[in-house]
Structure 1
Amino acid sequence: MDQPGPMSQPPVTGTPAPRLRDRLTIPVLASGGILMAVMQTVVVPLLPDLPRLTGSSAATVSWMVTATLLSGAVLTPVLGRAGDMYGKRRVLTAALGLMTAGSVMCALTSDIGVLITARALQGAAASVVPLSISILRDELPPERRGSAVALMSSTVGIGAALGLPLAALVVQYADWHTMFWLTSALGALGVAATWWAVKESPVCEPGRFDVLGALGLATALVSLLLGVSQGGQWGWGSPRILGLFLVTAAVLALWWWQQLRSERPLVDLRLVTRRRVGLSHVAALLTGYGLGLSIVATGLCLLPGGLTMLLFSPLSARISATRGPRITLALGAAVIACGYAVRIADSRDLWMVILGATVVATGTTLAYSALPTLILRAVPAGQTASVNGVNVLMRTIGQAASSAAVTAVLVHHSSPLGDVPVPTLHGYLLAFAMAGAVALAACAAALSIPGDVPRGGLRRARGATRGARDEAMEGA
Structure 2
Amino acid sequence: MSISTTSTTTTSPPTGPIVAVLAFAGIVVSLMQTLVIPIIPSLPDYLNASPSDTAWAITGTLLAAAVAVPTMGRLGDMFGKRRMMLISVTLLVAGSIVVALSSSVVPMIIGRVLQGLASGLIPLGISIMRDILPPQKLAGAVAMMSASLGVGGALGLPIAAIIAEYADWHMLFWTSAALGIVAAVLIFRMVPESPVRTGGKFDFAGAISLAIALIALLLPISKGSDWGWTSTTTLALLAISLVAFLVWGWWELHTTKPLVDLRVSARRQVLLTNVASIVFGFAMFAASMVFPQVVQLPEATGFGLGGSMLLSGLVMAPFGIVMMLISPVGSKITNAYGPKITLMLGAVIVAVGYGIGIFAMHSIWQLVMIAMIIGTGVGLAYGAMPALIMGAVPPSETGAANSFNTLMRSLGTSFASAIAGVILANMTMSLGSSVLPSEEAFSTIMALAAGSAIAALIITAFLPKLRAPIADTAPETADDIASALTSSK
Q: TM-score, normalised by structure 1?
A: 0.91
Q: Which whole-Å deviations, capped at 9, do the CAs of 1:79-122 have from their partners, x for residues lacking one?
A: 10000001111011000100111001111112111111111111
AA aligned opposite 1:246: A
Find the aligned partners of 2:54 and 2:430 in 1 and give their Cα distance. Answer: 24
Q: Which residue of 1 is the match for residue 294 of structure 2?
A: none
Q: What one-letter code is carried by the residue in structure 2 that aligns with 1:183?
A: S
Which position in structure 2 is the counterpart of 1:229? 222
Secondary structure, counterpart of 1:415 in structure 2: strand
- Partner in structure 1 of residue 262 of structure 2: 269
Cα distance in 2 between the residues matched to 1:193 and 1:216: 35
1:326-368 Cα distance to aligned partner (Å, 9 max, x none): 1111111111111101111211122111111111111100100
CA contact (8 A) 1:36 1:128 kept: yes
RMSD: 1.7
Per-residue deviation, 1:453: 3.3
Q: Are 2:50 and 1:57 equivalent residues in the alignment?
A: yes
Task: Give 2:386's aligned residue.
Answer: 372
Most deviating of 20-29 and 373-382: 20-29
1:458 equivalenced with 2:470 (yes/no): yes
Shift of 1:461: 13
Could you say which residue in structure 1 is the equivalent of 2:334? 320
The Cα offsets for residues 174-209 of structure 1, whole Å up to 9 and x where unpaired, read as: 100111111111111111111111111110101110
Q: Distance in 2 between matches of 1:410 and 1:179?
A: 29
- Give the SS at the match of 2:429: strand
Local SS of the residue matching 1:101 = helix
Query: In the alignment, which of 160, 165, 173 is matched to residue 167 of structure 1?
Result: 160
- Shift, 1:417, TM fit: 2.5
User: Secondary structure in 1 aligned to 2:41?
Assistant: coil
The change in CA–CA distance for 1:176 and 1:257 in structure 2 (over 3 A counts) is same
1:397 and 1:216 map into 2 onto residues whose CA distance is 17
Indicate if the aligned counterparts of 2:61 and 2:113 stay in contact, CA closer than 8 A: yes
Q: Distance in 2 between matches of 1:81 and 1:407?
A: 33
Change (3 A) 1:419 1:280: same
Runs (4+) of structure 1 exceeding 3 A deviation are: 18-23, 457-462
Determine the structure 2 residue equivalent to 1:73: 66
Measure the CA separation in 2 of the matches of 1:88 and 1:347: 43
Work out the CA distance in 1 between the residues paired with 2:12 and 2:423. Answer: 54
Separation in 2, partners of 1:354, 1:382: 42
**Aligned counterparts, 1:1-150, within 5 A:** 23-150=16-143
In 2, are the aligned partners of 1:294 and 1:357 still within 8 Å (CA)?
Answer: yes
Aligned match of 2:194: 201
2:78 partner amino acid? M
CA positional deviation for 1:302: 1.2
Instruction: Summarize the Cα distance change of 1:322–1:85 in structure 2 as closer, same or farther, 3 Å threshold.
Output: same
Structure 1 partner of 2:362: 348
- Partner SS, residue 421 of structure 1: strand
**Comparing 413-422 with 119-128, which one deviates more in the overlay?**
413-422
The CA distance in 2 between the partners of 1:22 and 1:291, in whole Å, is: 29
Q: 1:447 to 1:459 in 2, by over 3 A?
A: farther
Of 239, 262, 266, the residue aligned with 1:246 is 239
Which residue in the other structure is 1:11 paired with? none
Checking the alignment, whether the CA contact within 8 Å between 2:76 and 2:124 is kept in structure 1 is yes
Q: Distance in 2 between matches of 1:26 and 1:240?
A: 45
Once residues 414 and 133 of structure 1 are traced to their aligned partners in structure 2, the CA distance between those partners, rounded to angstroms, is 42
Secondary structure of the residue aligned to 1:422 is strand
Task: Give a deviation string over 1:275-322, Cα, whole Å, max 9, x none.
Answer: 000000011101100111121223122111111111100000111111
**In 1, Cα distance between the equivalents of 2:52 and 2:341?**
43
Kindly state the Cα deviation for residue 61 of structure 1 after the two structures are TM-superposed. Answer: 1.4
* SS of aligned partner of 2:470: helix
Distance in 1 (alpha carbons) for counterparts of 2:14 and 2:76: 21
Change (3 A) 1:110 1:460: closer
Determine if contact 1:340/1:432 at 8 Å carries over to the other structure. Answer: yes
User: In 1, Cα distance between the equivalents of 2:372 and 2:39?
Assistant: 25
Unaligned stretches of 5+ residues in structure 2: 1-10, 292-311, 475-489
Q: Compared with structure 1, are the counterparts of its residues 444 and 301 closer, same or farther at alpha carbon in structure 2 (3 Å cutoff)? A: same
Taking structure 2 as the reference length, the TM-score comes to: 0.88
Query: Partner of 2:424 in structure 1?
Result: 410
Between the aligned partners of 2:118 and 2:225, the Cα distance in structure 1 is 27
Name the SS of the counterpart of 1:458 in structure 2: coil
3-state SS, counterpart of residue 207 of structure 1:
coil
Assess if the C-alpha contact under 8 Å between 2:15 and 2:133 holds in 1. no
Q: From 378, 382, 385, give the equivalent of 2:399.
A: 385
Percent pairwise identity: 39
1:416 Cα deviation from its structure 2 partner: 2.5
Instruction: Sort the Cα spacing of 1:315 and 1:38 in 2 relative to 1 into closer, same or farther, 3 A.
Output: same
Task: Give 1:249 shift.
Answer: 0.6
Mapped partners of 1:180, 1:441: distance in 2: 38
Residues 413, 381 of structure 1: alpha-carbon distance in 2 compared, 3 angstrom cutoff: same
AA paired with 1:193? Answer: L
Q: Mind listing any 5+ residue stretches in structure 1 that lack a counterpart?
A: 1-17, 463-476
2:452 aligns with 438
User: For the residues of structure 2 that align with 1:237 and 1:33, how far apart are their CA atoms?
Assistant: 38
Tell me which residue corresponds to 1:359.
373
Q: Measure, in 2, the Cα distance between the counterparts of 1:384 and 1:99.
A: 23
For residues 341 and 147 of structure 1, the distance between their equivalents in structure 2, rounded to whole angstroms, comes to: 29
Looking at structure 1, the residues matched to 12 and 380 of structure 2 have their Cα atoms a distance apart, in angstroms, of: 31
